[in-house]
Structure 1
């Protein structure tokens, strides 16, 4: 059994993966984000109940990652995590192998291994929440780039800012002065203004998807994150923005899915563990 960990800017979650399912999990709100020692202790305490029955740990972090050494840099929304040798810290604590990657890479790895993208060789996952992140599968392999920075579509210039400014929760908070949750609740009640906002949001996201298509031309795109749950409200606007794509046949063949499994990032984190570490416990002590 493997431990999958999903570390976010506001919440952390850990669970045990067994035969493609999360059979037990815990989550907690992140406290004292300005203290590295406090956040690390909180992470260790979250993992500790699972460690005795696990062979290894996979963890997704919202940051650039030195995958070979398991070092994370400038973790989003956790200011104390500027450079953290996470693999070394957790291996020293639990004495089992640890594998670290970007959180959106874990999301799409989970979708490709266990979720809605299982039948595709090339797929891009886009998580829409506080930010706009992307993870990439090419020829059935996770592609992270030289610095684990591949797929940062949200950082590409768009209008007067970038895609992330218009195609995540910021579109509601900063641009229109209300939360995405409030916009969703209003849309559920049929509020015309809220429905119009979601349609506009869909157009912005559609332009981001066009960027994905020009760069990667995947078979499928999977939308995840908290805002993706409002997919029915922005779907039409999204496809409207795709109407003028330069290669219309590519859009006809493209499949766009909404993620269906709230545990998919945990499953993807656990899937970081190579096969040789999955069946037996490997001691790291000499």
Structure 2
């Protein structure tokens, strides 16, 4: 049997999965993320981890189809990662360097959010869809578009970067990317907290949120689910902006379904219904019946999507 590796590089750990040629996860583990000015140290750690796995499982190198890898930054089709600021790298030809250091080829890389979308499309919520938009709501807002089993990357690697779509041109505060009015400033976990703080300051509406020393995104959604009036106003505001961004994306790529993932998606169907309702108010009538679904793969979406990068090349 042949195998491949799926690798998801994060700011704290590198998640690694060994997959069979039919996409079954055989083994999963993590190693600490070694940070530095370039990826060589991290790639050496990955090389050791893969060789130990192959030795343990008695897998010869010639039975490895390749390595799929996610990277926390924009990735272009030539395998170049452009500025992974969270782990200290500038622009690097990550695919080529990984092949040289690890000694396995091919190595296919993609942006972490886009590859997670591919994972959901291949193995998760979008498995039966021909096209899918995924939006990941976490510390930031990530996104990815999958068409006929392939990630839409774009010329400069930013296709699907819905989190930095300008959604409010009159915003005065600056996003982490340097722009103002990005979706991420409202629909990320941190953006939701900021929205809550703004509403609490400008209104006198009674709310359980006022009893909390520090409001979290989970607090906000728990209060909204419990019927708190102000919490529902805040989440409606957040979902209106998210629904607008999804509607804009649909007008460009018109996917069959929309998948919502990330930590905030733990709010479940309650969140999904609000987002779908907001979206439906922004689009043509014949585009309102898009299927909305919650992501299914959780933290494994990255490594499973990375494996799909390789398995799709060998089909």
Shift of 1:250: 0.8
How large is the RMSD of aligned CA atoms in angstroms?
2.8
Aligned-partner SS, 1:176: helix
Q: CA deviation at 1:152?
A: 1.5
- Describe the superposition over 1:50-69 as per-residue Cα deviations: whole angstroms up to 9, x where unpaired: 3553442100112111332x
* Contact 1:128/1:223, CA 8 A, preserved across alignment: yes
Q: CA deviation at 1:102?
A: 1.2
Q: CA deviation at 1:145?
A: 0.9
In terms of fraction of residues, the more strand-rich structure is 1
Q: Secondary structure at the match of 2:310?
A: coil
TM-score (norm 2): 0.76
Shift of 1:25: 1.0
Q: Which residue of 1 aligns with 2:268?
A: 231
2:163 to 154, 164, 171: 154
Alpha-carbon distance, 1:13 to partner: 1.0
Q: Which has the larger radius of gyration?
A: 2
8 Å CA contact 1:203–1:239 kept in 2: the answer is no
- The number of equivalent residue pairs is 275
Partner of 1:91: 99
2:307 equivalent among 263, 270, 275: 270
Report the CA distance between 1:4 and its aligned residue. 0.4
Note if contact 1:107-1:268 (Cα within 8 Å) is conserved in structure 2. yes
Q: Name the structure 1 match of 2:208.
A: none
Give 5+ residue unaligned stretches, structure 1: 279-286
1:61 lines up with 2:71 in the alignment: yes
Give the match's secondary structure for 2:288: helix
Q: Residues 105-147 of structure 1, C-alpha deviation per residue, up to 9 Å, x if partnerless?
A: 2122222222221222221121221222221122443221112
Report deviation, 1:88: 2.7
Instruction: List, as ranges, runs of 4+ consecutive aligned residues in structure 1 with deviation greater than 6 Å.
Output: none
Residue 82 of structure 1 is aligned with which of 85, 90, 95?
90
Deviation at 1:212, TM superposition (A): 1.5
